[in-house]
């Protein structure tokens, strides 16, 4: 694990904003942003599984899809031949350690850096349960920065689940 940088703290604030937006649809409050090489937000997402009825609508996947669409559109405007799906030199920032599906999407999108907030001891795939992002048998490896604004990221999840459990 590598120490977080100042930008990571700021970018996590953007991911936390996305996580809070998920509360409006009663989705688990996880947010993500994809930051481009210039520091601009290329994509943002929040969990939308409940809202869309889509089991793959995790915050990371939503943000990655949006970033790929934006890169493809920008490439066309510049007359380039970029495919959009290679998110080289980008950073994914997410409030919770990615699960296996999302970690796989990161590897396939060739994202070189992932910054996350809270650890997921039940399903994390960036060092907790699995370590897909740094699996040497895969064709792409990711630099991982975990525990960024961890308390804040964990608190929004704990509060969400406390409310839902009290309603049972």
Give the distance from CA 38 to its chain's centroid.
18
> Is 99 flagged in the annotation as binding?
yes
Q: What is the model's pLDDT at position 29?
A: 98
Please write the tens of the pLDDT for every residue from 102-145.
999 999 999 999 999 999 999 999 999 999 999 999 989 999 99
Q: Which structural domains are found in the chain, ordered by start?
A: 3-166 (3.40.140.10)
* Residue 147 pLDDT level (bands cut at 50, 70, 90): very high
Structure tokens at 29: 């409050």
Reported pTM: 0.93
Q: 100-131 b/e with 16+ CB inside 10 Å = b?
A: ebbbbbbbebebbbbbbbbbbeeebbbbebbe
* Residue 165 pLDDT level (bands cut at 50, 70, 90): confident
* Residue 164 pLDDT level (bands cut at 50, 70, 90): confident
> Is 58 flagged in the annotation as binding?
yes
Q: What is the model's pLDDT at position 98?
A: 98
> Is 8 flagged in the annotation as binding?
no
Nearest alpha carbon to residue 108 among 60, 144, 49: 60
Contact indicator for 96, 117 with CB cutoff of 8 Å: yes
SS3 112: coil
As annotated, the active-site residues are: 60
Alpha helices in the chain (DSSP H): 6-22, 49-52, 59-77, 100-108, 150-166
Q: What is the model's pLDDT at position 1?
A: 55
* Residue 156 pLDDT level (bands cut at 50, 70, 90): very high
Nearest alpha carbon to residue 98 among 135, 69, 128: 128
* Residue 76 pLDDT level (bands cut at 50, 70, 90): confident
pLDDT surpasses 80 at 71: yes
* Residue 166 pLDDT level (bands cut at 50, 70, 90): confident
């Amino acid at each position: 694990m590598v120490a977080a940088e100042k930008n990571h703290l700021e970018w996590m604030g953007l991911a936390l904003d996305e996580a809070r937006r998920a509360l409006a649809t009663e989705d688990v409050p996880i947010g993500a942003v994809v930051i481009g090489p210039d520091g601009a937000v290329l994509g943002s997402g929040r969990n939308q599984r409940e809202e869309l009825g889509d089991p793959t609508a995790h915050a990371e996947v939503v943000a990655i899809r949006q970033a790929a669409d934006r890169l493809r559109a920008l490439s066309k405007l510049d007359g380039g031949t970029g495919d959009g799906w290679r998110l080289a030199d980008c950073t994914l920032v997410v409030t919770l350690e990615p699960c296996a599906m999302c970690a796989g999407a990161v590897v396939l999108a060739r994202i070189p850096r992932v910054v996350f907030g809270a650890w997921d001891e039940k399903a994390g795939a960036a060092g907790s349960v699995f370590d897909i992002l740094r699996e040497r048998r895969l064709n792409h490896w990711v630099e991982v920065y975990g525990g960024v604004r961890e308390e804040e990221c964990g608190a929004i999840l704990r509060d969400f689940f406390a409310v839902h459990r009290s309603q049972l």
